[in-house]
């Protein structure tokens, strides 16, 4: 950066919105439960709003007020057959997990999505659900939306998943609640485990044995109360920003610290980031706490030994940290990025190129060479909220100002991103 330029730094306490993954699952399970559930801190992003709208279309009452979401339902066996398409918007989590729930239900539902979601393959859940006896109609060999699910009797299976995917695992576990016999899923490495923790906390007979998770049928779920901790993925964005903007120091309040979600912080620590954790505590089996981040000089690192699933969503912003580091940073087994909201792997490479940084994909690995971050071309977020956030942090480092105008796309996951970032900038 031009040293004559006014620098920007981050200071103060940052309170982020509720974790998106946990918000989805809390709303889903509350809709499946019988009674009135109260959930605090639900993400106000567009993705979770899509989940709420899907279940409203099934007769579930969902209201929001004073940072509380109240879900009143008669239970998953009493969903009202929908009289319209159920729109999942841009949310792959909504579409995949709802497909699992509806597969063993008494209703027929047609799930649709926006252009981006309609282009994403759903075969990774459709194929094993069909093995369980699910009736699902979809488009093409890779099973793209719209998906028409006709509820039918299911049977438990033992499934060896070719990918570590919390969405695949969760879809099968949720279907397994309505299946006859045991449903077991084995992954090549451990993916995020929010669904397992919540189901266990709600009394389901669920067993975790290494990389295998199995569940027995569970006809009813109880209503519950829960407070969703701050979003772990967005917290990594602010941690990277504070690490690379000189003289920064921030406190991130009450962040989800589930070990299947902290790979991003592990990688930052390997790069030499100054990160500390305070006030750790458990709620419904989920660890949370405060995080203090101070700016420091970063060095290139290697992700070997850290399960990719624990940082897959944070790779765009971790690539920004890598761009600021001395030397090369290698991210391994990240091919899953090609089937996110965009071809996120190529999107990262293209974005870094706009800021004079070299990055290459070799098979399923991403290599980023740290260097001088300076803007040489307008960045393109490709309609991807995580690329948009990464672009803003790159631009702060390069030009000491925000690009702005990405509110619509970033609000999909983090509507609080701009307000919190602008409040902390000095």
Helix H segments across 33-141? Answer: 46-56, 92-103, 115-118, 123-131
How far is residue 224's CA from residue 161's CA, in Å, rounded to a whole number?
Answer: 31
Q: Counting runs of H as helices and runs of E as strands, what totals does the chain give?
A: 14, 21
Strands 183-186 and 158-160: parallel
Of 127, 313, 343, 365, which residue is the catalytic one? 313
* 323 and 351 Cβ atoms separated by less than 8 Å: no
Whether the CA torsion 383, 387, 388, 394 is positive or negative: it is negative
How far is residue 183's CA from residue 175's CA, in Å, rounded to a whole number?
Answer: 9
Active-site residue flag, 313: yes
How far is residue 47's CA from residue 100's CA, in Å, rounded to a whole number?
Answer: 18
Encode burial over 274-292: b for 16+ CB neighbours within 10 A, e otherwise: bbeeeeeeeebebbbbbbe
| Token pair in block for residue 152 | 């039918």
Encode burial over 204-223: b for 16+ CB neighbours within 10 A, e otherwise: bebeeeeeebbbebbeebeb
Comparing CA positions, the residue from 29, 72, 23, 85 lying closest to residue 48 is 23
- The catalytic residue positions are 313
């Amino acid at each position: 950066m031009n040293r004559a330029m006014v620098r920007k730094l981050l200071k103060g306490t940052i309170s982020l919105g509720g974790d998106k993954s946990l918000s989805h699952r809390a709303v889903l399970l509350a809709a499946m439960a019988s009674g009135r559930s109260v959930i605090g801190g639900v993400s106000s992003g567009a993705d979770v709003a899509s989940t709420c709208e899907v279940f409203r279309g099934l007769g579930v009452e969902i209201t929001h007020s004073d940072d509380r979401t109240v879900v009143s339902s008669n239970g998953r066996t009493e969903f009202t057959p929908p009289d319209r398409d159920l729109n999942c918007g841009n949310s792959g989590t909504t579409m995949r997990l709802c497909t699992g729930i509806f597969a063993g239900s008494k209703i027929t539902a047609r799930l649709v999505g926006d252009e981006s979601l309609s282009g994403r393959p759903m075969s990774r859940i459709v194929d094993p659900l069909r093995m369980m006896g699910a009736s699902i109609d979809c488009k093409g060999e890779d099973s793209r939306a719209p998906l028409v699910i006709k509820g039918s009797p299911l049977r438990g299976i033992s499934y060896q998943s070719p990918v570590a995917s919390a969405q695949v695992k969760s879809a099968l576990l949720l279907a397994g609640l309505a299946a006859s016999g045991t449903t077991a899923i084995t992954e090549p490495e451990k993916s995020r485990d929010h669904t397992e923790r919540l189901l266990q906390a709600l009394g389901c007979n669920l067993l975790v044995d290494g990389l295998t998770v199995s569940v027995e049928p569970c006809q009813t779920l109880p209503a519950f109360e829960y407070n969703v901790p701050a979003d772990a993925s967005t917290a990594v964005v602010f941690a990277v920003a504070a690490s690379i903007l000189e003289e920064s120091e921030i406190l991130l309040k009450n962040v989800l610290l589930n070990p299947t979600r902290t790979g991003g912080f592990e990688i930052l620590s390997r790069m030499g980031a100054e990160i500390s954790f305070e006030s750790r505590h458990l709620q419904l089996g989920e660890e949370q706490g405060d995080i203090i981040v101070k700016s420091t000089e970063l060095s290139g690192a290697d992700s070997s030994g850290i399960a990719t699933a624990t940082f897959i969503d944070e790779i765009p912003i971790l690539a920004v940290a890598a761009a600021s580091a001395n030397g090369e940073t290698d991210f391994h087994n990240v091919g899953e990025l090609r089937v996110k909201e965009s071809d996120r792997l190529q999107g990262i490479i293209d974005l870094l190129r706009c800021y004079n940084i070299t990055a290459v994909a070799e098979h399923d690995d991403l290599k980023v060479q740290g260097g001088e971050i300076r803007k040489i071309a307008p960045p393109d977020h490709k309609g991807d909220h995580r690329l948009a956030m990464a672009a803003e942090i790159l631009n702060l480092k390069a030009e000491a100002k925000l690009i702005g105008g990405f509110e619509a796309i970033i609000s999909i996951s983090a509507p609080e991103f701009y307000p919190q970032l602008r409040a902390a900038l000095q």
